[in-house]
Structure formats: structure tokens, C-alpha cells
Amino acid sequence: MAYNPNPIVQSALDAMKKEDVPKEPELYPDGKYRWIHERSYYKIPLLMIFIMKSVAVLIALIWLIFVLVNLGEEDYWKGGGFKNTTIIFAIIMVVTMILIVIGYLIYAKKKGGKYFMIHEMDEEGIRYITLPTTTDLAGAEALLEPLSDTKDPDRADDALAEAASIAYSEFRKVKVVRAFPEWSVVRLKEKLISTEVYLSDDHYRFVLEYIASHVSDKARVVGMTQKTEKDKPQVPPDRELY
């Protein structure tokens, strides 16, 4: 029997006309939750922030090494060498940050400012299917049904062939779950890589709790608050919250 999507999926074209993207996680017949996220390079500049932090740390380390090399030089401290070095590195830091922002804005404009991403989530992990920037909402919606077709795997393979990139986070390998409620983003950090889960505000908490209850007992959950008993997230009793 063919899969009949619920009214949220069936109203995708109407949503597109309203410039609203259906981001609700929906449970499909193959046992996986799927949802589409329209990611804006401008509203959630996590890539830019990551680059800025990395470069700032690198510049700070170079400054520290330079200072340590001159640690035994008396003239370096009395003659204003330390002050001049710090000023120079501060200027380098500011100029570099400005260049990163400009470069990111140029990159975002070149990419069209946004793209669509399909998330697939089950008890094992989350798969991130990033679509080409030329793909519109209708094109993204058209991939949901083939991806859930368990009777014809070739349809799923054909759908995945449309992706610009594919990534996967396995819950048992996740070391840190970091919540960003202000952006409705959840970051999953493994040993060597980090990935982000993008959500709508209305369904952010559901997915965050789902992830927190499926990662390893040794994983840290950062940023999940427990304000009231009613809002208390459903996580294992031995899960350590930060």
C-alpha cells in the first residue's frame, strides 16, 4: 500500500506559497522521523562563529608563544615590547574577524543565502541530507516519500543521489549533546566531528529529549534546563545535565 502523508506533508505547496517550511518531525512507515529545514546562512551563522572561534584561538596561541619566547628578555618588558606585541596581535585579531565576516557574507550570497536539509531520525541516530541550493521546497518534499519506501530501495538510492552531501550521527558514539534553544539547534559532538540538528521552535524540545534519551549514558547533555516539573525533559535518571 502506498504511503499517504499526513495533512502537513500534503499542504507543502501551500506552505511554500506562504514562505513557510513544514519542519515538523513526522513518523514514517519505515520507523524514522523525517523533517525538512530551510537553513538560512544569515539567521544561524554557526559556520562563521566556528571559524571565528578557531582563528581567535590560533592567533591567541601565536601571541602566547611569542611572549614566552621573549620571557627572559628584560628589554622586552621594560622597553614596551610586550605592550607593542599585544597591540599588534589585537589589531590582527580585529582585522581578521572583520575579514571573516565579510568572507562569510560573500559566501552566503553566492550560495543563495539558504538551502534545504532533510533530517532522518530513528533510535540509532540521525542522518543529514543536504540538498543543492537550487532545490526548492517542492523538490525537497518530493524526496520524502521515496526515502521511506522500504519495498523499493532503489527509489531511496535515487533520492539520495539528489543530495549535495550526506552526514550521519550515531547516537552511541555521541560524546556531548549541546542545546542552543535561542536558535532551535542541537549540536551532537562525537570524538572527531560535530553535527547540528535544525528544528522549528515548536518541536525543538521533543527532538532534544528524544536525542538525550538515546545517546550513551556517558554522554553529556549541555544546555537542557529543567525549569518546572511540567517542562522536565524525559531523559534517563542517571543522565547528567549541564
For residue range 40-61, what is the model confidence (pLDDT) as tens digits?
777 767 778 888 999 999 999 9
Same domain for 26 and 120: yes
Q: How many folded domains does the chain comprise?
A: 2
Instruction: Return the closest-CA partner of residue 126 out of 189, 181, 168, 183.
Output: 168
Tell whether the model's pLDDT for residue 99 goes beyond 90: yes
Same domain? For 80 and 118 the reply is no
pLDDT at 225: 62
79 and 190 share a domain? no
| 227 occurs within a structural domain | no
Q: SS3 breakdown of the chain: % helix, strand, coil, rounded to 5?
A: 45, 20, 35
Smallest Cα–Cα separation from 174: which of 143, 220, 142, 210? Answer: 220
Query: Using CA atoms, how far apart are residues 174 and 186, in angstroms rounded to an integer?
Result: 12
Sign of CA dihedral 49, 54, 55, 56: positive
CA distance 138 to 135: 8
Residue 148: enclosing H or E segment and its boundaries?
none
Residue 22, in any domain of the structure: yes
Q: Of 62, 86, 110, which residue constitutes the final position of a domain?
A: 110
> Is the pLDDT reported for residue 19 higher than 80?
no
Enclosing domain of residue 124: 7-41+112-222
- Going by C-alpha positions, the residue among 53, 55, 174 that lies closest to residue 121 is 174
| Other beta carbons within 10 Å of 232 | 12
Residue 62 above 90 pLDDT? Answer: yes
pLDDT more than 90, % of the chain: 20
| % of the chain with per-residue pLDDT over 70 | 81
Q: Strand, coil or helix: what is 139?
A: helix
Are residues 61 and 102 both part of a single domain?
A: yes
Does 8 have pLDDT greater than 50? no
> Are 28 and 123 in the same domain?
yes
For the segment 209-225, the average pLDDT, to the nearest whole number, is 86
**Nearest-5° angle of CA 171, CA 176, CA 177?**
75
Mean pLDDT of 75-103: 89
Query: Average pLDDT of 17-26?
Result: 53
Could you give the residue ranges of the DSSP H alpha helices within 18-80?
46-69, 74-78
One domain, residues 30 and 127: yes
- pLDDT for the residue numbered 75: 78
DSSP structure class, residue 240: P
pLDDT at residue 144, as a whole number: 79
Name the most confidently modeled range: 9-13, 14-18, 129-133, 178-182: 178-182
115 in Cβ contact with 43 (< 8 Å)? no
Across the range 123-147, mean pLDDT stands at 80
Shared-domain flag, residues 192 and 156 = yes
201 and 142 both lie in a single domain: yes
Could you tell me if 131 and 208 lie in one domain?
yes
The one-letter amino acid code at 230 reads K
Query: Are both 78 and 188 inside the same structural domain?
Result: no
Residues 165 and 206 in one domain: yes
Please check whether residue 235 lies inside any domain of the structure: no
Contacts of 233 (CB under 8 A, 6+ apart): 205, 208, 209, 212, 224, 226
96 has pLDDT over 50: yes
Asked whether residue 166 is domain-assigned, the answer is yes
Question: Of 11-25, 47-61, 131-145, 165-179, which range is least confident?
Answer: 11-25
Residues 96 and 177 in one domain: no
Q: Identify the pLDDT of residue 102.
A: 92
At residue 188, does pLDDT exceed 80?
Answer: yes
